[in-house]
Structure 1
Amino acid sequence: MSQDPAALHLPVLVERCLDLLAPAVDRPGAVLVDATLGLGGHTEGALRRFPGLRVVGIDRDPHAVALATDRLAPFGERFTAVRTTYDHVDDVAAEHGTDGQVQGVLMDLGVSSLQLDDAGRGFAYAQDAPLDMRMDPTTGRSAAQLLAEAPEAELRRILHLYGEERFAGRIAAAVVRRRERAPLTRTTELVDLIRGAIPAAARRTGGHPAKRTFQALRIAVNGELEVLDRALPRAVEALAVGGRIVVESYHSLEDRAVKAALARGATSSAPPDLPVEPETHRPYLRLLTRGAEEADEAELARNPRAASVRLRAAERLRPTPAHLAPARPRRNA
């Protein structure tokens, strides 16, 4: 497999993301946190377009951090990589921003091209590989361990909630029957099990029959939605007034969480019967997109992986009211 990051990854909607961020980050000394660094495609675009910008990139995958760091080395001290999960975004902003805040946060959610295209990582149902699926392969339990240990009810819940899989019960029961004989350790073993568990008619429609199960297991193994739920309010809190957040989601569960977090900030928290809206209850975000933007035909022709993207953005209008700010102890990033 080629290790040229530019060849491995074509960033989705990069120019639109940069257009939305530009009013906040196109100034000397501005700091952008790329909360999902991946192979650094969005960061490279930002550093080239905004000469006064510094970018701090966050990623939990050590391989991605190494490749992106090499790719972005020509930008010198304008780029810094931090290996952690992106729910540490406010800690990273506190360390690298001005007065603890930054001018922009970018999130490109989901699995990266590096992870999908590396057969050995086990993310892809079309390639034989160990059932791993960890974004950070040095920590946590793998998909194989999850399938070997989780009760049937938990497996059914994961497949139904995270994969929206109609046949979650059948697949979970088949996993439990199979592991009584031998554990599932390879992606092809899981694909064959799924094919055998669902009705023949369902295998002929709706895309690859393993797609939803693989998505669900990946989300569960990496705690993706839990990390996102923690990260969104912390990312808003990390923004200086006038700062902007841009988020790209790739499935409905992610987009639902992003929509709710941004709408919360863009909505008055005052009771509707108050004659005068108190300053402390006015919206602290302004939505920059009308609903969720999707890729146009030109983007899809350039990058087929943009088919499912949903993009939302907002601007920080004022400090978050104390009664709405995320409360937690400060950690070291």
Structure 2
Amino acid sequence: MLLSASTVLASIPSPPINSWDFSIFGVGISIKFYALFIILGIIIAVIMSNRTLTKRGAEPWVIVDICLIAVPLAIICARIFHVLTHYSFYFGPEQTDPWAWAKIWEGGIAIYGALIGGAIGAWLGCKWTGIRFWTFADAIAPWMLLAQALGRLGNYFNHELFGLPTDLPWGLEIEKDNPAFPAGLAEGTLFQPTFLYEIIWNVIGVVLLLWLGRKLSMQWGRLFAVYLIWYSAGRIVWESIRIDPSDIILGLRTNVWSAIFGVVIGIVILIVQRRHLGQEPSPYQDGRGRKDVVSSQDTPEDFVDLSEPTATLDDESTSAATSTAGAGSVPTAG
């Protein structure tokens, strides 16, 4: 039997506010916490990925040039993907606003759309900067999971994307007047905190990816493939217990299908990229730059920039040495 909020020993309360509201010169401004968490996630992902790419020989902060293309495309495609996978919500007979599909500020973005748009933008950015696409993908993979965990905190503040009713002590409290509150359920019903499950899953995934990146040769997109498999496998479970409205295809929510495709694509990348096992890619497409980081046992000497010419003795010393009688030629530093 479901327990009400007054009878459970513990539960997760929903936050009383979801935005920071203030005014400047009499103009009211509202900043959603959801947006702040997404921005924070992007900043952290950029900073940490820059650290990884720099260690692998890339020019510091070249990731910013890539993200100038990737981030806007990710946001645009995230909205497009959400609209297409919830088509009946925006173009159904009950929809009276012809511009509802464009009002992203009212909510509605999809992570798989962001991945598609971000991948296209990253590929273009990598072509522009000369960075190898798979090196970029592997560098950013763990930090995308962390950014997605932060984004789920935004869902918590928005009182959205919760799961089935539950009598578990960590059930989530949702107000009765919430539009997503299922009809017919009593006030005080608790729900599965799917946002929390996904946060925990993603944080564990971050630790796993960082460990794999240091202990195994997970290059050429293989670390990114593990990210796709890990995130998508968890998403299949969390999405299956969510009760927010969704279009259904062959009995499954559209986002479940997206997650299934994510697992399949990750497996394909792992299989295809096995042909590069044992090869250590330069971060740049033309092969310049330093050795890629594959192990915590790497030494500072492993990061010598091979694109620089080797040091030689200066002309004066060389001339003096070669003119010495009987000395023969003196080899330059190798």
Give the TM-score, by structure 2 length.
0.28
- Return the structure number with greater relative CO, CA threshold 8 A, min gap 6: 2
Structure number having the greater strand percentage:
1
- Give the structure with the larger helix fraction: 2
- Which of the pair has more CA radius of gyration? 2
